[in-house]
Amino acid sequence: MKIDEALLAKYFKGTCNEAEQAVVEAYIASGDTPELDALMRNVWEEKAVPVKRMHRTWYAAAAAVLAFGIVCGWAWQRNSHRKQMAVLQSVKDTLYNASPNVKRVTLPDGSRILLGAYTQVVYHPEAVREVWLQGEAFFDVRADEQHPFYVHTDSLTTTVLGTTFNISTRNRANGSIEVSLFTGRIAIKVKEGNIAFAQTLRPGEMVSYRKGTMPLAPGKFKANEVLDWRTGKLIFENTTLEDAFARLQSRFGCHIQVEDEQLMKKKVSAEFTPGTSVESILQSLSYVHQFSYTQTSHQTFIVGK
């Protein structure tokens, strides 16, 4: 489906009539958008605005994270949501926690967020009740029945009116996104390719979504394990080593390379106090499961037999 770039530019300026808007949105939803890509490149090349540093697949954001010592690779779907495209071409505000500690922030609407280690939240200054999250955060959303609050994490969207919940995008080795509800009600929606899923959560329920797969039915979660990061603790309860290593990478901004794949499915239950170093944790895990590890740089570890 082809489209006139002048119509695209008109759409992003907000001057389209309803018929023109429908045409553009159908075009964006098709996923085949070379004209849009060309328009965005021209905008980035011609205008020295903050968005120029925000590549549409978020690699620029990942590079910024690497600059703070984080080793991770992540990308956002290019055309998964019309509003996401609008945000990527406009000026944004970014809330970023560049440390291993918890950071407290308050949005202009009064909603409060606890940002986990190396976590980023992006929002448009004129639409503060819609945010994009990478990392882990606990949300205490100010109630407003007339204006829902949206949290986008890749192709999963969490919609709330006023409640408390936790979202993590990096705690599982398979890349699953976990949404845990503490109070109120939230709606979870996934739209990706031929996968369409919607679910309402009750307090105490969690949904886990892995890209490209249908989410399982909501399950229960243990609050102390989900929220251990808020107090600086690290709690593993019958956790596989591959997920334990994923959480260590998320929490400490390190990189753990495993050479013995047989280790990954072994499980561990342990609790580490605030301030325990990643080296000490790896030492404890290696003692229990009889593996060796070497530190090749300040933030890189290789785990072997």
Tell me the three-class secondary structure of the chain, residue by residue: CCCCHHHHHHHHHCCCCHHHHHHHHHHHHHCCCHHHHHHHHHHHHHCCCHHHHCCCCCHHHHHHHHHCCCCCCCCCCCCCCHHHHHHHCCCCEEEECCCCCCEEEECCCCCEEEECCCCEEEEECCEEEEEEEECEEEEECCCCCCCCEEEEECCEEEEECCCEEEEECCCCCCCCEEEEEEECCEEEEEEECCEEEEEEECCCEEEEECCCCCCCCCEECCHHHHCHHHHCCEEEEEEEHHHHHHHHHHHHCCEEEECCHHHCCCEEEEEECCCCCHHHHHHHHHHHHCCEEEEEECCEEEEEC
Residue type, 232: G
**C-alpha–C-alpha distance, residues 128 and 142, integer Å:** 12
Average pLDDT, the chain: 77
Domain assignment present for 60: no
Q: Are 80 and 150 part of one and the same domain?
A: yes
**Does 80 or 287 have the greater pLDDT score?**
287
Using a pLDDT cut of 90, give the percent of the chain over it.
38
Q: Are 188 and 240 part of one and the same domain?
A: no
Give 36's pLDDT tier (boundaries 50, 70, 90).
low
Q: Are 120 and 218 part of one and the same domain?
A: yes
pLDDT tens digits, residue range 119-178?
Answer: 999 988 777 889 999 999 999 999 887 889 999 998 899 999 788 999 999 999 988 999
Average pLDDT score over residue span 206-213: 89
Whichever domain contains 155, its CATH number is 2.60.120.1440
Q: Which of 6-20, 194-208, 215-229 has the lowest mean pLDDT?
A: 6-20
Whichever domain contains 266, its CATH number is 3.55.50.30
In this prediction, residue 68 carries a pLDDT of 31
Domain assignment present for 122: yes
Give 25's pLDDT tier (boundaries 50, 70, 90).
low
Domain assignment present for 62: no
Domain assignment present for 150: yes
Domain assignment present for 138: yes
**Does 234 or 5 have the greater pLDDT score?**
234
Q: End of a domain among 203, 223, 243?
A: 223
Number of domains in the chain: 3
pLDDT greater than 70 at residue 117: yes
Q: End of a domain among 178, 202, 223?
A: 223
Domain assignment present for 206: yes
Q: Are 203 and 121 part of one and the same domain?
A: yes
In this prediction, residue 276 carries a pLDDT of 93
Q: Are 136 and 72 part of one and the same domain?
A: yes
In this prediction, residue 18 carries a pLDDT of 72
Q: Are 172 and 43 part of one and the same domain?
A: no
Q: Are 36 and 131 part of one and the same domain?
A: no
Q: Are 84 and 11 part of one and the same domain?
A: no
Q: Are 239 and 257 part of one and the same domain?
A: yes
Give 37's pLDDT tier (boundaries 50, 70, 90).
low
Q: Are 219 and 246 part of one and the same domain?
A: no
Q: Are 91 and 178 part of one and the same domain?
A: yes
Residue 282 in contact with residue 258, Cβ under 8 Å?
Answer: no
Domain assignment present for 99: yes
What's the domain range around 258? 233-304
Domain assignment present for 38: yes
Q: End of a domain among 223, 251, 267?
A: 223
Q: Are 34 and 146 part of one and the same domain?
A: no
